[in-house]
Amino acid sequence: MLAAACQMFLGKTEAEIAHIALETLEGHQRAIMAHMTVEEIYKDRQKFSEQVFKVASSDLVNMGISVVSYTLKDIHDDQDYLHSLGKARTAQVQKDARIGEAEAKRDAGIREAKAKQEKVSAQYLSEIEMAKAQRDYELKKAAYDIEVNTRRAQADLAYQLQVAKTKQQIEEQRVQVQVVERAQQVAVQEQEIARREKELEARVRKPAEAERYKLERLAEAEKSQLIMQAEAEAESVRMRGEAEAFAIGARARAEAEQMAKKAEAFQLYQEAAQLDMLLEKLPQVAEEISGPLTSANKITLVSSGSGTMGAAKVTGEVLDILSHLPESVERLTGVSISQVNHKPLRTA
């Protein structure tokens, strides 16, 4: 190679040697381009570079030049044809890239969905198995609970039945005791009623009948006396005239009738009549009680430091005496003014 180089390039400058090598490479490059289409050169640059390197390196070696590497820097034309091919290629590549990406995403989605489906299926199968186990457990537990609750309910019902029977027996005994107690109470009440009736008979009815009989006899005696007196007076004063005798007889008859009415009133109203007589005499009794005070010339009062003084004190003393008057009347006559006032009138 050194001898060939000396023979070929002796006396030439470096620029001339470079120009010769460049023209040689360009010539081989044109020769190879003549056997390839523009699309092949543009699309398969590696193949083009290898063919140029293979042909040109053997030729340059004969010239004493060793080709280390051959690389295409750029491929272009004045009509911008290759650029258009690049755009189409770029669009195709982008399309293929998008399609590839979409297919990849689709495949990934399908695989992911399949994986999720398998996961969900496995999860569902697991949950189904768990549900079956839970169901079997619940069924067995329910059966056991039913049996236990049945036995417990039977025991509770037996206990409640026994308690009810016991309560019923106790209630029956209590009712029997109450019946006996009520019968005893009724007997005691009947005895008390009989005793009170006897007491009423002894204390009220018999004295009242005796008093009524007395009043009737007195009224009849007074009537007879008045009649006899009227007849005597009529005989003695007959000479005064039949008019006066008639008047005296009429007065006698009126007084007799009055006494008869009074006796009849005593017979009918008994305690009320007695009360009427007592009430009629009470003002006279009060007058007799307060009479000594009206004739007193001087009254000396001694006070203990509390209460009223003066005329009010004297009046209070008189009223205090009068307030004890019903009790005195009851002790003397056996008639209670307060009780008679609240009792209903009774007929004979």
Q: State the residue range of the domain holding 49.
A: 1-75
What's the Rg (C-alpha) of the chain?
79
The answer to whether 38 touches 82, Cβ cutoff 8 Å, is yes
DSSP, res 268: H
- Would 39 be classed as within a structural domain? yes
Report residue 44: phi and psi, to 5°. -120, 70
- Would 20 be classed as within a structural domain? yes
Question: How do the residues of the chain divide into helix, strand and coil, expressed in percent and rounded to 5?
Answer: 85, 0, 15
- Would 13 be classed as within a structural domain? yes
Task: Provide the CATH number for the domain around residue 46.
Answer: 3.30.479.30
- Would 318 be classed as within a structural domain? no
- Would 4 be classed as within a structural domain? yes
Q: How many domains does the chain have?
A: 1
**How many Cβ atoms sit within 10 Å of the Cβ of residue 112?**
11
CA-based end-to-end distance of the chain = 185
- Would 32 be classed as within a structural domain? yes
Please report the pLDDT score of residue 60 as a whole number. 81
Provide the greatest CA pair distance for the chain.
230
In single-letter form, the type of residue at position 10 comes to L
Please report the pLDDT score of residue 334 as a whole number. 65
Q: Give the three-class secondary structure for 10.
A: coil
Token readout for 293 is 């005070």
- Would 11 be classed as within a structural domain? yes
- Would 104 be classed as within a structural domain? no
Consecutive 10-residue averages of pLDDT for the chain (348 residues): 84 88 85 80 78 81 81 75 67 77 84 84 85 87 86 84 86 86 86 82 72 78 78 67 68 77 63 66 71 68 60 67 70 63 47
